[in-house]
Structure 1
Amino acid sequence: MKAANAHEDKTYSNGYSTNASSLFYIWHDKETAFENIWKWNRENQERKKMSKPHIVAIPYPAQGHVIPLMEFSQCLVNHGFKVTFVNTEHNHKNQLHLASLPDDLEPWVDRSELGQLTEALKWIMPGKLEELIENINQGESDRVTCVIADENCAWALEVAEKMNLKRVAFWPASAAALTLIFGIPKLIHEEIIGND
């Protein structure tokens, strides 16, 4: 992964955009991403004299998305960050024992149906995440300073922007897959592949 601290406005083919106040990271090399976040944190601590940086990490609740962000979060913890790892209650009840948010889907709903899960997350979770961050900030000395969200959870980055928090898009798959996704519009334009 090449981590980029956005110094100019950019819009990516998947709809994500960055501006001077945002950070945009793509998962491939967690150490490079970590170094850039750590550098930002050191500068921020010197300016604000904060106690401990507090990051909220939000994976997309599907196979292959939770563990990479959990590993990256552990790297951040090992270097002095406080991390609140947020996931749906369904995943926590079955796999993890951490703080969770309800997804408001009925227990019998098949969460492997990603279209339905994505729609539910998009409409239900923003308010719940904002409430969680407000509760953390009211009850703890280490206020939330950054939100790291799976790239499939763009709604979480919008909440972070609304709350004036740093935000990071996390890509859990390979750099090759991301390159392909960003390259598809060009391949279609050059008629190397078809629209369908």
Structure 2
Amino acid sequence: MELSHCLIERGFRITFLNTEFNHAHVVAALPKMGGVHEQIRLVALPDGMALGKDRNEVGKQCECFLRVMPGGLEELIHKMNESDHDKIRCIIVDGVMGWAMEVAAKMGIQGAVFWTVPVSLCASLFDIPKLIEDRIIDKNGLVE
């Protein structure tokens, strides 16, 4: 959200996309945060998980995201670009939602990945294949 405000200061309009589940939490928190800037539009897409499902099951959540959200994002962009005077020309996606870059490329939209994890986590992720190869961890990330 802070990045959104920085971009607004430079003349951008922002559409902030969340899953419906996360969107509900963001909207509920807005009064405490002082609302949302008029240049930020909040939209949501279904994540593919049924109500009541455990969203802490990361593997299942990712599977549902990849099955449902790319088509939903493409449809949302088409719909917004047909009705808006400000067309979507660029997307910035969280590193965990890298699949959205494929949607952007397919639609001829520029994109960038914005990942806010600490550098130590980034380095660890890149080293996972080596850790498995050296048998320090197994393919499930467990110490052998």
Q: Normalised by the shorter chain, which TM-score bucket?
A: 0.7 to 0.9
**Structure-2 change in CA distance of 1:99 and 1:178 (3 Å):** same
**Structure-2 change in CA distance of 1:179 and 1:104 (3 Å):** closer
Letter in 2 for 1:113: E
Letter in 2 for 1:164: G
Give the C-alpha shift of residue 184 in structure 1.
4.1
Question: Paired residue for 1:93, among 5, 24, 39?
Answer: 24
Question: Paired residue for 2:125, among 159, 162, 181?
Answer: 181
Check the 8 A contact 1:137/1:143 in 2, yes or no. yes
Within a 5 Å distance, the mapping from 1:144-163 to structure 2 comes to 144-163=88-107
Within a 5 Å distance, the mapping from 1:114-129 to structure 2 comes to 114-129=58-73
Gaps of 5+ in 2: 29-41, 139-144
Query: Greater helix percent: which structure?
Result: 2
Check the 8 A contact 2:47/2:68 in 1, yes or no. yes
Aligned length: 125
Within a 5 Å distance, the mapping from 1:3-152 to structure 2 comes to 70-96=1-27, 98-152=42-96
3-state SS of 1:144 partner = coil
Report the counterpart of residue 136 of structure 2 in structure 1.
Answer: 194
* Percent of aligned pairs with the same amino acid: 42
- CA–CA distance in structure 2, aligned partners of residues 186 and 126 of structure 1: 31
Higher relative contact order (CA 8 A, sep 6+): 1
- CA–CA distance in structure 2, aligned partners of residues 84 and 95 of structure 1: 14
- CA–CA distance in structure 2, aligned partners of residues 79 and 119 of structure 1: 36
Check the 8 A contact 1:122/1:153 in 2, yes or no. no
Q: Kindly provide the CA deviation profile for residues 61-102 of structure 1, in whole angstroms up to 9, marking residues without a partner as x.
A: xxxxxxxxx222221122211111100111122332721112
- CA–CA distance in structure 1, aligned partners of residues 27 and 84 of structure 2: 23
Gaps of 5+ in 1: 1-69
Report the counterpart of residue 114 of structure 2 in structure 1.
Answer: 170
- CA–CA distance in structure 2, aligned partners of residues 120 and 184 of structure 1: 24
Letter in 1 for 2:76: L
Report the counterpart of residue 12 of structure 1 in structure 2.
Answer: none
- CA–CA distance in structure 2, aligned partners of residues 115 and 128 of structure 1: 20
**Structure-2 change in CA distance of 1:115 and 1:79 (3 Å):** same
Letter in 1 for 2:24: K
CA RMSD of aligned residues (A): 2.0
